[in-house]
Amino acid sequence: MAGIRIVDIDIYHPETKVHNDFYIEHFDARGVDIRGLLKALGRESRYKIDQEDENSLTMAFEATRKLLAKTGLNGQDIDLIAYASQTPEYIFPTNSLMIHHLISGAAHTICIDSNANCAGMTAAFEQVSRQMLGNPRIKRALIIGSDYVAPHASPDDPVYFANFGDAAAAVIVERDEHAVGFIDSIYQTDTCVYQNSLFPAEGLAKLGSMGVDAGAFHVKFTPFDDSICVDAASESIRTLLTRNEIKPDEIKAACFSQLSIANIRAVSENIGIADDIAVYIGDEFGYTSTSSPFIAMHRAISSGELQRGDKVLFWTVGAGWQNVAMVVEY
């Protein structure tokens, strides 16, 4: 039976690195102390776009360009492009179609954009893997995750303004008759905070009819305890591992949402995974949202922590909220 295996992965981030001091001073001037928030989230620095011509699409292309060069592949080798973003530079045409143009893709290539908010790239990987298992004509797929949240973060909102970093990840998967690759996945959805992050705040219909003032196109965020997803995520992951007869100590790298180091530690403890198995890159990159589990995977591979044949556990959570977890043999 064929498997869907990871060929390789690469990432892109801007050169400019911004440390916590900038954000602490910014909010001190507003009478808000965010030191405790930054410590709880595990933030130290984050890479930030500072060029007018850079955005989520350009970051996605740079990650893709690096990945194709690394693998020796080109656009003609890709049968499906899946682009995951909650801040797409364009709504139409699709950003995947634009990537197709930039890499001179083939005429038969499937181009799809998807959005599951911060869970987007993980969900896209899972959905593409299952589509490839059902369609043997899709030999190779390019999956991209890229978000640029900063333009939509209110300077008065500590969580969105100080927490996020800018980056993109790209991964190529292929159908292999002799590989395991993608093993299984699980979703869990609870809509108890579905209105706590709204963007556009008043919806696209009103935006189109009324317009918006410059600087006012921001996420409407109502604070809540982000740890509410931990217990449900832990239960889902235990179910996922049990039904695939995988023991926690078989997991060699846990690539989780980088939203909060506290959540990473809590989920790891709940499911019996050691702290050193859970990869943490949020101190350097900030929270890159949809790409964050895959940037963690890139770190695990480049550091030598993750080797071919090892099992990788992914978990992330999207706004509203929705937990997504999956297991892959690298």
Q: Kindly indicate whether the domain formed by 3-179 is annotated with CATH number 3.40.47.10.
A: yes
Confidence of residue 216 (pLDDT cuts 50, 70, 90): low
Tens digit of pLDDT for each residue in 163-183? 999 999 999 999 999 999 999
Output the pTM of the full model.
0.96
At 53-105, the pLDDT tens digits run 999 999 999 999 999 999 999 999 999 999 999 999 999 999 999 999 999 99
Q: Is the pLDDT assigned to residue 25 strictly greater than 90?
A: yes
Say whether pLDDT at 187 is over 90: yes
Fold match, 3-179 / 183-329: yes
Every domain of the chain and the residues it spans: 3-179, 183-329
pLDDT for 184 beyond 80: yes
What is the chain's alpha carbon radius of gyration, rounded to the nearest angstrom? 19
Mean per-residue pLDDT, 37-53: 97
Compute the mean pLDDT over every residue in the chain, rounded to the nearest whole number.
Answer: 95
Express each pLDDT in 260-295 by its tens digit: 999 999 999 999 999 899 999 999 999 999 999 999
Among candidate residues 263, 19, 21, 53, the one with its CA nearest the CA of residue 165: 19
287 — phi, psi (to 5°)?
Answer: -100, 110
Model pLDDT, residue 227 = 73
What are the phi and psi torsion angles at 123 (to 5°)?
Answer: -65, -40
- What integer pLDDT is reported at residue 215 of this predicted model? 59
Of 172, 5, 169, 182, the closest CA to residue 72 belongs to 172
Residue 118 DSSP symbol:
B
Region 33-51: mean pLDDT is 97
- What distance in Å separates the CA atoms of residue 226 and residue 79, rounded to the nearest whole number? 38
Task: Tell me the percentage of the chain whose pLDDT exceeds 90.
Answer: 87
For range 103-108, the mean pLDDT: 98
- Identify the CATH assignment for 183-329 out of 3.40.50.10160, 3.30.360.10, 3.40.50.300, 3.40.47.10: 3.40.47.10
Separation of alpha carbons 277 and 254, rounded Å: 6
Whether residue 211 is predicted with pLDDT greater than 70 in this model: the reply is: no
DSSP line for 257-324: --S-HHHHHHHHHHHT--TTTB---HHHH-B-GGGHHHHHHHHHHHTTSS-TT-EEEEEEEETTTEEE
